[in-house]
């Protein structure tokens, strides 16, 4: 989606054969699946607003006042303040109505309109304008370094009419960039807009590969960033290691929230222990919890082995402790001295299985000595 060569022909996707590096930044970049595309939608009362995508996955809504027929991925010329810009149709129809309701857009009069479909000359001119972005980015970083401003410039977006450029930056504190704007406007002969973005948005614009081996969620489909706290990692029994829990943006990974509700539902039936279980053998402390298998692992103070106990059994022991009673063991109530199945019991079974008896060792030693003596006799002969 996004390239003229990617359009469908005879019901088949042509493909641009650009190996995932779409020149327009449209392939796999905040794409939306139109699940109403195969349905017969009303033609007379068709929703007159269209969602248009720009560089970096930025999307805005525009009015189709001319009732033009669009195909998802078409390049269009849209109205922007003090000029025009080129974007690509990402969504249209009833799904746009739902998206606008989701974004709580009520004043439709302030929405700007679409001028027309983009011609080949428009695309060529926009391609030439985009070639200015990389040199401008490097030069601007040098200027920022000379001015000693505490800000990080991550991306630049030129307007299609080559009259304005938006500079995206991130900073920890407030930055006075008035002098920077004067230098940029004088050197590049453009109107300058400075837009501060968060570190998560910066990672989404730059893109990359996550620790899971897939492209970053923030650069492919995630647009609304929710706050992520360390409690999400605690509920999922993850180690609080910042190097493993942090994403490429330096913040906690957004994927920590994906399965959090499932863990919360599963933890409702698992008891929370503030003190060890009282057993006749001693106090058993909780070591870890397998949430979905509903197994809790306990260990005694004088042992290194861990004992897997079902959740129902743990609840029963807690009820006995509240009554002042102590079970004989973690698994039995009235059988004193009976040991529980430990974590390393399977290792002990393997050791016993492959453990050699002293008789077999003697036989092997005799065979080896006999072979060595026979080899010596043959050499002496």
Q: What is residue 305's predicted lDDT score, i.e. its pLDDT?
A: 87
Residues of the chain with pLDDT > 70, as a percent, come to: 76
In whole angstroms, what is the distance from residue 362 CA to residue 344 CA? 30
Q: What is the mean pLDDT of residues 175-192?
A: 93
Looking at residue 301, what is its pLDDT? Answer: 84
Q: 121 or 337: whose pLDDT is higher?
A: 121
Is residue 322 predicted with pLDDT exceeding 50? yes
Q: Which residue has the higher pLDDT, 280 or 44?
A: 280
Mean pLDDT confidence for 353-368: 64
**Could you give the residue ranges of the DSSP H alpha helices within the chain?**
94-102, 120-130, 133-147, 178-188, 199-206, 217-220, 230-235, 242-245, 260-267, 311-322, 345-353, 358-380
**Confidence class for position 262, pLDDT limits 50, 70, 90:** very high
pLDDT band at residue 309 using 50, 70 and 90 as cut-offs = very high
37-96 confidence digits (pLDDT tens): 666 665 566 788 999 999 888 899 999 988 888 888 899 999 999 899 999 998 888 889
Average pLDDT, the chain: 83
- Listed range (15-24, 118-127, 325-334, 364-373) with the worst mean pLDDT: 15-24
Helix/strand/coil for 130: helix
Using pLDDT thresholds of 50, 70 and 90, give the confidence band for residue 2: very low
pLDDT at 356: 57
Predicted confidence band of residue 361 (pLDDT cuts 50, 70, 90): low
pLDDT at 252: 93
Band of the pLDDT at 330, cuts 50, 70, 90?
Answer: confident
pLDDT of residue 358: 59
| Confidence (pLDDT) at 139 | 95
pLDDT reading at 373 higher than 80? no
Q: Binning pLDDT at 50, 70 and 90, where does residue 19 land?
A: very low
Residue among 102, 71, 63, 64 nearest 88 (CA): 71
**Which has the closest alpha carbon to 155: 138, 177, 174, 179?**
138
| pLDDT of 372 | 67
Query: Which one has a higher pLDDT value, 243 or 3?
Result: 243
Count other C-beta atoms under 10 Å from residue 236's C-beta: 15
Q: What is the pLDDT of residue 368?
A: 72
- Pick the residue with more confidence: 166 or 243? 166
**Sorting pLDDT into bands at 50, 70 and 90, what band is 321?**
very high
Average pLDDT score over residue span 318-325 = 91
Residue 344 clears pLDDT 60, i.e. is over it = no
Q: Which residue has the higher pLDDT, 301 or 367?
A: 301
pLDDT-derived band at 136, boundaries 50, 70, 90: very high
Residue 7 predicted with pLDDT over 70: no
| Span 280-304, average pLDDT | 89
d(CA 87, CA 168): 18
Give yes or no for residue 272 having a pLDDT over 90.
Answer: no
What is the full DSSP assignment across 299-348? EETT----EEEEHHHHHHHHHHHHTT---SSSS-SS-TTPPPPPTTHHHH
Is residue 3 predicted with pLDDT exceeding 60?
no
**What is the rounded distance in angstroms from the CA atom of residue 298 to the CA atom of residue 288?**
7
């Amino acid at each position: 989606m996004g390239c003229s060569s990617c359009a469908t022909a005879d019901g088949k996707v042509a493909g641009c054969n650009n190996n995932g590096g779409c020149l327009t930044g449209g392939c796999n970049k905040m794409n939306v699946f139109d699940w109403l595309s195969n349905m017969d939608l009303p033609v007379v009362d068709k929703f007159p607003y269209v969602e248009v995508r720009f560089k970096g996955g930025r999307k805005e809504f525009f009015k189709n006042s001319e009732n033009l027929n669009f195909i998802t991925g078409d390049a269009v010329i849209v109205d922007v303040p003090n000029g025009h810009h080129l974007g690509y149709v990402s969504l249209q129809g009833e799904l746009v109505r739902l998206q606008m309701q989701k974004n709580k857009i009520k004043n439709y009069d302030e929405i700007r309109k679409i001028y027309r479909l983009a011609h080949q000359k428009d695309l060529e001119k926009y391609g030439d304008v985009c070639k200015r972005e990389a040199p401008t980015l490097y030069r601007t970083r040098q200027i920022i370094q000379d001015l000693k401003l505490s800000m990080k410039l991550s991306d630049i977006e030129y307007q299609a009419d080559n009259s304005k450029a938006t500079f995206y930056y991130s900073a920890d504190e407030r930055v006075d960039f008035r002098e920077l704007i004067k230098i940029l406007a004088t050197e590049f002969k453009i109107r300058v807009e400075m837009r501060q973005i968060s570190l998560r948005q910066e990672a989404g614009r730059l893109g990359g590969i996550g620790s899971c081996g897939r492209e970053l969620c923030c650069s492919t489909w995630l647009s609304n960033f929710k706050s992520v706290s360390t409690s999400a990692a605690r509920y999922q029994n993850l180690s609080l290691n910042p190097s493993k829990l942090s994403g490429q943006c330096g913040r906690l990974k957004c994927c920590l929230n994906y399965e959090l509700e499932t863990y919360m539902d599963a933890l409702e039936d698992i008891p929370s222990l503030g003190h060890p279980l009282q057993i006749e053998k001693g106090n058993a402390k909780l070591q870890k919890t397998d949430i979905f298998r509903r197994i809790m692992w306990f260990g005694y103070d004088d042992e290194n082995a861990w004992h897997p106990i079902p959740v129902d059994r743990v609840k029963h022991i807690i009820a006995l402790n509240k009554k002042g009673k102590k079970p004989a063991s973690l698994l039995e109530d009235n059988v004193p001295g009976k040991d529980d199945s430990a974590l390393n019991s399977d290792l002990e079974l393997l050791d016993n299985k492959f453990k050699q008896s002293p008789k077999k060792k003697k036989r092997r030693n005799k065979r080896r000595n006999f072979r060595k003596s026979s080899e010596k006799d043959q050499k002496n002969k």
